[in-house]
Every structure is written in C-alpha cells, then in structure tokens.
Amino acid sequence: MSAPELLDLDATALAGALRAGDVSPVEVLDATLDAAAGVGAAVGAFTVLTPDLARTQALAAQDALVAARRDGRAGPHDGLPPFLGVPCPVKDLTMVEGVPMRAGSAAIDPFPAPYDDGVVTLLRRAGTVMVGKTSTPELGLPCYTEPDVGPTARTPWDLARSAGGSSGGAAAAVAARVVPVAHGSDGGGSLRIPASACGLVGLKPSRGLVSPGPYGVDGAGLATHGVLTRSVRDTAAFLDVLARPWPGDTFTARLGAPPDGRRLRVGLLLEPVIAAGAPVHPACADAARAAAELLVRLGHDVVEIPPPFGAERWDAFAALWSVGALQAPVPPEREHLLVPLTRWLRERGRAVSGLAYATALAGVQQLTREVAAAWSGVDVVLSPTLAQPPALVGSQRVDDDPAADFAAQTAFTPWTSVWNLTGRPAVSLPLGEARVTDPDGSSATVPVGVMLGADHGDDALLLALAARLEEAAPWSRRRPGPSS
C-alpha cells in the first residue's frame, strides 16, 4: 500500500493490515511522521513529535508481530494487543512519561512528565504507538485551540477555520489523515466540538466509565477522557480499551448490555439550552432535522422536545468551570503570563466562596435529576453539536474582553455542556455539511456535526445507533480540502 492508502485506513483496518503482514509498524510510523511534518504542521496538530519513543514502540510491535507469524499465532485470537503498531498521539493535558508537557500555557515551563497517566498506560497496553503530543488551548479551557505557545489547530476542510477545542490538535491530526485515532478529553464539549469542526466521531463517555486514575481525580465530575476517530467502530473499540477502572475511583460505571434492537423514541432538541436565543445556523439545524428523518426511516419515533431547564440554571457550570481554572498550579509570579481568558476565569474562581461552590455542586446534582425527569419519555436526544459551522481562526478569542469571549463560546456551544453536567454519554457524528465563505472570498464545504445523547450508562445503545446512522449515511468517502 502507498502512504496515502495506509493513512486513509481507520484504526481497525490498519490493525488488521499490520496483523496480516501487509505493512510493518515501522513503515506505518515512517508514513505518519512524514505526514505529521507536512500536513500535520499545516493544521497545527502537534506541540511536539516523539520520533525516538515512537520508533522504539514500533520496533517492539514489529518484533511481536513477526514472532506471532513465525509461531503460527497471527490472527484475531493471537493474544497480542488489539491495536499493536497503530499510531495514537496524546493530548498535551495528559502526561506521557519523559515527554515534555506544557498544557498550552506560557505560564507553565515545559517539564518531562514523571509518569504515564492511566489512560496512556491503557493505550500502551493496547499496543498503540505514541507519535507525539497534540495541541490544546491553555489548560484546555476554551472551545478554540489558539495557544500562545503552540500552533493554532485548524480544520483541514478550510485552513482559515478553527479545528475547535480543546482537543483541537487531536482532531486536526485525525481529520488530516496523519493518524487514524487520537486521544482527547471532554469537560464541556472538548471532544465533540472539534469532532464537529473536523468531520469526525467524538464520544464523551458516561461519567465513571473512563477513569482518571490512578493519579488523577474526578473533582466535579465534568471531564472525561476519550478519543477522536473517523469511524464509529474505532470509537467503540477504543472505549473498550479505555473503560477500565482503577482502585479508589470516585465514580464508577460499566458498559451496558448491547441494545436489543427495539424501536427507540428520539427527542429532537433544536432550541439552545445554555444560551437562550443564541443564533443557530440553518445548516446546523438542517443537519439535525435530516438526521431525525433518517432515524424515522430506520424505524424509530422522533418527537420535538424543549430544553430541560432554563439557561440561567447553567450558572452552576460556570462556577465549577472557573474554580477548575483556578485549581491549575500556576505560581503567582507567573500569573501574568496566562492568556486574558484564563486570568478572568481564575479571578471569577477566587470570587466563588466555599458555600457558593457547594451550592453549585448541589445545583448540578439537582439539575441532573430534573434532566432525567424531563427526558424520561425518550431514549435518545438528538441536537446539532454546535450552533455554527467551524469558526474562523481568531474570531472567538477576544483578549480585550474575556467576558465577551466566554459568552461567545457559550453561544457557539449551547448544547454540549449539558452532557458534562449530567454525566450522560453523548456523541457527535459528521452527518451534515455547510458551504462557507472566507474573508478572502474563497469558499469551502465544511462538516457539521449532529449530536446524540442517552441516559447514563447507555453508551452501547448510543454507539449502536451511531453505527446504524453511519451505515445508512456513510461519511467515509468525504475528504477534507477547501474549494473555490
């Protein structure tokens, strides 16, 4: 296979090609590093590449595969890790032992991570090759990836537009065909936002399904790890890899039983939740309506539903988010090196009293009960992922008015954080598209995501439904690239 053919495979197909001996892990790595230096740099995917570490891992994978074939063990039940030799970078908010980490911030000097975070341990056990750290905004806080100390992540569908955030570099790397899968995380939409902007599958698993252990803690329980992929089957397979508990987990969940194929009741949610009256681009609403029509053709029932709570109730999330920003260990003498948005959030966090924080936590828990009651009559909730197509680079970061920056982000993402608040699973699928015009007069067709969410623990049901939608309206033949 040629390098473009290799890099066009999803992770499952690439793992199969490696098992069959059609290509070696070293050949895959060479193609990946070449792409990372080329198109990967153009889309701002990586903060650092790790060719030496990756080559050591690729050579070990190659030896294991050669030994398995020599011993007649190569095949689906050969006992080898499922993704042996498959490249998978890690977001630069997560530690990889010995690899410099900066979390997208000038206030944090790059430091070699002292250990692998738990999800990195699991990715290693699955046989993946760690080719680099992907770009993230400062501390992963905004929904765009434009850090002061790293590359701006751009969607390969239109380089004038953002890849989203905060897993923007990860999404750019997968969409640009540098890697088939990339690690990311999601505290308010940070997997699903870039999935929408880059035409990918992005699942935020149920709270407690993917542990932050053994070193991290859940805190308010908003954030979780996951991956960005180009296929539902890859997302499901990597959920199997990452859904492993560590001793002492605060929240625990288990993958539910496979769905029984029953007729589902789907709630279509078109009205913004956390930003009442936020403008919704027609292409975003149309993509959700088209997905609803497709679900009806697949034998499901669809009913329109209103937001489960008033926009003002979202203030609890804002309080938890700002305190979370304040928890980052930034020395006082380096505070001035933070971007204005981060400084503004940290100031807001300082203004949250202990009582106010406890009240916010209680408010989120009460909101979770109210959402469960409001959506008890539906199995799945369908909405646009974002209110707008991918944003122009620089259009969302407003350094001279961080409050306006934050407000614009909420208007851009009026559905995503509901699922973080409630701990329920949600997935963005690249089912829509929009024609956009850039300031220079050029135009491009860009992806538009559609989001499906389900009850806590119903990740298997959600992925099965996503797989049916992918089968009925496949997106695998689409390729990024601007057109005039």
Instruction: Using alpha carbons, select from 415, 425, 427, 428 the residue that is nearest to residue 456.
Output: 425
Predicted pLDDT at 409: 98
- Residue 93 tokens read as 């908010």
Q: What is the domain extent for residue 334?
A: 3-472
Predicted pLDDT at 484: 34
481 inside domain: no
Predicted pLDDT at 438: 94
Predicted pLDDT at 292: 98
Split into its structural domains, the chain has a count of 1
Q: At what angle do helices 232-242 and 118-125 cross, to 10 degrees?
A: 110
pLDDT of 85 > 90? The answer is yes
Burial group, residue 327, by CB count within 10 angstroms (0-12, 13-18, 19+): exposed
This model's pTM is above 0.85: yes
Quickly count: other Cβ atoms within 10 Å of residue 401's Cβ: 13
For 233-267, the pLDDT digits (tens) are 999 999 999 999 999 999 999 887 778 889 999 99
User: d(Cα 440, Cα 453) in Å, to the nearest integer?
Assistant: 37
User: d(Cα 411, Cα 373) in Å, to the nearest integer?
Assistant: 25
For 292-306, the pLDDT digits (tens) are 999 999 999 999 999
pLDDT of 74 > 90? The answer is no
User: d(Cα 241, Cα 81) in Å, to the nearest integer?
Assistant: 10
Predicted pLDDT at 71: 87
- Beta carbons of 90 and 196 less than 8 angstroms apart: no
- Beta carbons of 162 and 386 less than 8 angstroms apart: no
412 inside domain: yes
Predicted pLDDT at 483: 45
Domain containing residue 268: CATH number: 3.90.1300.10
User: d(Cα 411, Cα 387) in Å, to the nearest integer?
Assistant: 7
For 423-450, the pLDDT digits (tens) are 999 999 999 999 999 999 999 999 999 9
For 95-139, the pLDDT digits (tens) are 999 999 999 999 999 999 999 999 999 999 999 999 999 999 999
pLDDT of 328 > 90? The answer is yes
User: d(Cα 265, Cα 19) in Å, to the nearest integer?
Assistant: 41
Predicted pLDDT at 131: 98
420 inside domain: yes
117 inside domain: yes
80 inside domain: yes
Hey, which residues are catalytic here?
Answer: 91, 166, 190
Predicted pLDDT at 258: 79
Q: What is the mean pLDDT of the chain?
A: 96
124 inside domain: yes
pLDDT of 481 > 80? The answer is no
For 28-56, the pLDDT digits (tens) are 999 999 999 999 999 999 999 999 999 99
CA–CA distances in Å: residue 443 to residues 24, 147, 159, 380, 438:
39, 26, 11, 35, 6
Locus of tokens 């294991």: 64
- Beta carbons of 118 and 163 less than 8 angstroms apart: no
pLDDT of 167 > 70? The answer is yes
478 inside domain: no
Task: Work out the average pLDDT over 204-214.
Answer: 98
Task: Work out the average pLDDT over 130-150.
Answer: 98
308 inside domain: yes
